[in-house]
């Protein structure tokens, strides 16, 4: 049997769509994953998976997400412009999102599921992978601490931020841990639409970093697979299958104000995943 890795790629709040995919992949198609990887806000969903929540529970948690209850402007910091620490804080996300989702840090740290939470250690200037045993509410905040928008997180003398600019998915780590199949849910836009202004350009850089790294990784896998087929060996020593569900999700990466749009995009993930699975013979109906 192949060793499957679930890759929950970063993509801002567009990743709510991933939860609908998981409802189908985990519960309806009954697909088992030996390991899972998350980057940026996708680490929120990875935390739920690591804790042992079902796909339905994960999807329902995202369906219940209310962006207005999560937004917390960092007013004291804004008085220090242009050297403000951040525009927003995690205070209301901790209270109104993590708590309501039922995240249990003791259960996550004790989980026997193999999970990789990607964060960027700015002190050491390198991306690092945190296992479940090293996770905490503060470390989960760090995984989603997108520079400018959220403050960096200091833990044990190290400053951590969101790792998405270093890559929205850590395919190399999954392969190094023995994955033969990479099941990727990709919600970062690939439409190539440039938007002017500081906000539009910031997320243009976000897309540039995420998509260029993904393409480089996929090209490397393709070259390795070709070498395995040709001479019996390649960079990874075996054939690595990539199964990717990619979607253009009509949510902003960060600024969304209607709860209904999150329910709609979770349900869109369900519909698309069902169709994707049926095309591959993974669902009978």
Confidence of residue 47 (pLDDT cuts 50, 70, 90): very high
What is the mean pLDDT of the segment spanning 9-30? Answer: 98
- Residue 1: per-residue pLDDT: 85
Q: Is the pLDDT of residue 285 over 80?
A: no
Confidence of residue 201 (pLDDT cuts 50, 70, 90): very high
Span 266-281, pLDDT tens digits: 999 999 999 999 999 9
Q: What is the pTM of this model?
A: 0.96
Span 118-136, pLDDT tens digits: 999 999 999 999 999 999 9
When the pLDDT of each residue in the chain is averaged and rounded to a whole number, the result is 97
Confidence of residue 80 (pLDDT cuts 50, 70, 90): confident
Confidence of residue 78 (pLDDT cuts 50, 70, 90): confident
Residues 6 or more apart in contact with residue 214 via CB below 8 angstroms? 9, 167, 168, 169, 171, 186
Q: Is the pLDDT of residue 91 over 70?
A: yes
Span 167-195, pLDDT tens digits: 999 999 999 999 999 999 999 999 999 99
């Amino acid at each position: 049997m192949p060793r499957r890795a679930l890759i929950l790629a970063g993509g801002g709040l567009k990743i709510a769509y991933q939860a609908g995919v998981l409802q189908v992949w985990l519960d309806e198609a009954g697909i088992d994953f030996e390991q899972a990887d998350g980057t940026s806000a996708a680490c929120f969903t990875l935390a739920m998976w690591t804790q042992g929540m079902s796909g339905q529970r994960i999807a329902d948690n995202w369906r219940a997400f209310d962006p207005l209850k999560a937004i917390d402007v960092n007013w004291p910091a804004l008085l220090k412009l242009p050297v403000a620490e951040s525009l927003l804080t995690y205070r209301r996300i901790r209270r109104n999102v993590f708590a309501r989702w039922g995240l249990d840090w003791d259960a996550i740290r004790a989980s026997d599921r193999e999970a990789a939470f990607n964060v960027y250690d700015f002190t050491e200037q390198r991306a690092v992978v945190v296992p479940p045993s090293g996770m905490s509410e503060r470390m989960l905040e760090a995984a989603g601490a997108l520079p400018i928008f959220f403050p960096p997180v200091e833990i044990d003398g190290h400053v951590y931020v969101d790792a998405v600019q270093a890559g929205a998915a850590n395919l190399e780590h999954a392969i190094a841990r023995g994955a033969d199949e990479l099941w990727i849910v990709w919600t970062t836009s690939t439409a190539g639409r440039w938007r002017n202004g500081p906000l539009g350009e910031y997320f243009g850089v976000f897309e540039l970093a995420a998509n260029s790294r993904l393409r480089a990784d996929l090209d490397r896998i393709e070259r390795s697979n070709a070498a395995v087929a040709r001479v019996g060996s390649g960079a990874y020593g075996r054939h690595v299958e990539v199964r990717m569900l990619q979607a253009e999700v009509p949510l902003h990466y960060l600024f969304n104000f209607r709860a209904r749009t999150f329910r709609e995009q979770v349900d869109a993930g369900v519909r698309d995943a069902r169709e994707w699975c049926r095309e591959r013979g993974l669902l009978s109906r």
